[in-house]
Amino acid sequence: MKISFLLAPLAALAILALLPAAAVAGDKLLAPVYPGAVAAGVPADPEQFPSGSRYSDEAGSPFARVFLSKDPIEKVRAFYEQKLGAIDNTFFTGKTWGGEWPFAYSKILVMADKRFDMSTGMGGEVPAGLEISALDPAELRAGEELYWPSVGPFFERLQGMTVTGGLSRSEYEGLIKKYGYLGARHYAVGKQADEGGSLMLVDEAIFKAVENKMSAPMAAAPSDVEFQAKAQRLMAEGKYDEFTKLNEQYMASMAAMQQNSTGPEGAKLLKDGLTELERNAYRTLIVIHLHPSQWDPIFKKLQ
């Protein structure tokens, strides 16, 4: 993923949980927050940063704040042009997926003449300002839905269910048509952590929750070894009614597992997950730098 020119000098840092759209108290942003936008997250302990996160280049840092809007990028651009003047620096407008952000606009508002720092190895002019970016659903290549961001894991499970009877091929293709565009949307960082303790993006957390629901009958069911041991004990003790009840419960749990993993019940859980994903999708990502006087001691001294 290509690093934006506004954030190029910065190391990729962690993001905290979803915050209100209002800037953090004391922040001096170089541009106003877009009306209705929500905060995607701000940096925290680098140890929390999700490995391979889609925010690894665009995320906030001590230098910037990141926001998300459901409005189209041209509407967001128009708002900032009204506030800041023409935003004519257009880049990444090519039709390449490859991890780059197409349809992005930026405006440099301040150049901080940051002197070389031996401790960080950073120096030179640091541009600070505003960046707006969005992804184009047309960049999602047909036939590669299993690899599309955000929705790929859902479609992978649903495709398997077209073989096991969970849903028809036509239903599957209808879901791609209806929800595929969500692979070209932005998602905030949520409050839920993965197994390694890193905060997950909301789309990842939604899929994880669906997986947990699909596997719930398996988690509640006794293992084969436990079932066999208890069944043999009941038979040896002549408790045939209890054995029959145990066997019925075991068969019911196996049927529920089958339904949740490959059948219509599992397909419904995945479709509900896509609906939840749609509610949490954002069209436009907005990066606003803090004024350099807040993060560059040298710049502050020059004021």
* Predicted confidence (pLDDT) at residue 129 exceeds the cutoff of 60: yes
Answering whether pTM is above 0.85, one says: no
Q: How far apart are CA 24 and CA 96, in angstroms?
A: 35
Q: What is the pLDDT of residue 154?
A: 95
CA triple 233-237-242, angle to 5 deg: 75
DSSP assignment string, 135-164: --GGGS-TT-GGGSTTTHHHHHHHHHHHHH
* Predicted confidence (pLDDT) at residue 120 exceeds the cutoff of 70: no
Q: Which among 77, 280, 101 is positioned nearest to 182, based on CA atoms? A: 280
DSSP assignment string, 259-299: HHHHSHHHHHHHHHHHHHHHHT-BSEEEEEEBPGGGT-HHH
Q: How far apart are CA 179 and CA 278, in angstroms?
A: 8
Q: What is the pLDDT of residue 103?
A: 58
What average pLDDT does the structure give for the chain? 72
Q: pLDDT tens-digit profile of 286-297?
A: 888 887 777 666
Band (45; pLDDT cuts 50, 70, 90): very low
The more confidently predicted of residues 117 and 136 is: 136
Distance of CA 5 to the CA centre of its chain: 22
* Predicted confidence (pLDDT) at residue 159 exceeds the cutoff of 70: yes
Q: pLDDT tens-digit profile of 226-254?
A: 767 776 777 777 877 777 776 667 666 66
Q: What is the pLDDT of residue 263?
A: 76
The residue type found at 142 is A
- Give the least confident one: 1-10, 77-86, 258-267, 285-294: 1-10
CA atoms within 13 A on the CB side of 17: 6
* Predicted confidence (pLDDT) at residue 97 exceeds the cutoff of 90: no
Q: pLDDT tens-digit profile of 57-74?
A: 334 456 778 889 999 989
Band (224; pLDDT cuts 50, 70, 90): low
How do the domains of the chain map onto residue ranges?
A: 38-137+281-302, 151-278
Q: What is the pLDDT of residue 199?
A: 75
